[in-house]
Amino acid sequence: MLNSLRARAAAAGVLALCGVAVLAGLARELLALGAAYPVTATIVLAVVVVEMTVRINERNHPFLEFGLANVVTLARATFVALVTAAIGERAEPAIAAVAAAAAIAVTLMDGVDGWLARRTGMSTAFGARFDMEVDALLIQALSILVWTHDKAGAWVVMSGLLRYVFVAAGWVWPWMERPLEPSRRRQTVCVVQIVALITALEPFVIRPYSTIIAAGALAALVGSFFVDTRWLALHRRKQMA
């Protein structure tokens, strides 16, 4: 079953890679992007596809089918790859606008994959993690673009790095790897972060407004991570008591 499941996931990934190559090629022609843009977008998505294929297994996805919900998440990852590949391109309004539009498409599709998973009875730990990782990559890419398009200082990159720092902290302090309880607050802050970064990136939002928007969202994110870290620390102390 595992080999069959991974084969289906890999097949979906190959189709997504074909799609991102075509879309990136069109974007390059329309926006006069660098020759490396389609290659970068394809490499970013290829890393996602490989990681997805390796991590899916019978424990976190107890179904033979890859599932329509995961297909939607993979489509979201395709657009995220297009946004990520814009890093290093010219800091022009047209490029910022298209990157923001692609990010809006990713955001609008967010929630559809979860709804489909519940609707089809295929909600899985893998699907939830896949969705979260796509959001994390989008936030990281947007934060870098907001910085490189001079909408905020380098500090805005922490909007994306905080999540990876949190994960890395779990390698040092195992108690931080304890599963967190589902939180509406955490989901809301994630959406606010994405919307704020998209807004800050839009060409019509200029300094200091873009900076204020990005700073406010980052403050909310820092607060959310503080709440989760405090919860983990308190439960560690209870276990040791």
Render pLDDT for 69-122 as a digit per residue (tens, 0 to 9): 999 999 999 999 999 999 999 999 999 999 999 999 999 998 898 899 999 999
Least confident range of 13-22, 102-111, 177-186, 196-205: 177-186
Query: Reduced to 3 states, what is the DSSP secondary structure of residue 234?
Result: helix
Rg, the chain, Cα only: 19
* CB-CB contact of 79 with 106 (8 Å): yes
CA distance 78 to 84: 10
Nearest CA-CA partner of 20 in 30, 28, 32: 28
Rounded to a whole number of angstroms, the distance between the first and last alpha carbons of the chain is 44
Q: Which residue has the higher pLDDT, 179 or 61?
A: 61
Nearest CA-CA partner of 133 in 81, 171, 174, 88: 81
pTM of the model: 0.94
User: What's the token pair of residue 27?
Assistant: 């974007």
The arithmetic mean of pLDDT across residues 40-68, rounded, is 95
For residue 206, what pLDDT is reported? 96
Is pLDDT above 60 for 241? no
Is pLDDT above 80 for 239? no
What number does CATH give the domain 2-240? Answer: 1.20.120
User: What's the token pair of residue 135?
Assistant: 């959001």
Confidence of residue 174 (pLDDT cuts 50, 70, 90): confident
Domain boundaries, the chain: 2-240
User: What's the token pair of residue 43?
Assistant: 């490499």
85 half-sphere exposure, CB direction, 13 A CA radius? 30
Confidence of residue 2 (pLDDT cuts 50, 70, 90): low
CA distance 164 to 37: 25
Q: Which residue has the higher pLDDT, 141 or 180?
A: 141
CA distance 25 to 235: 50
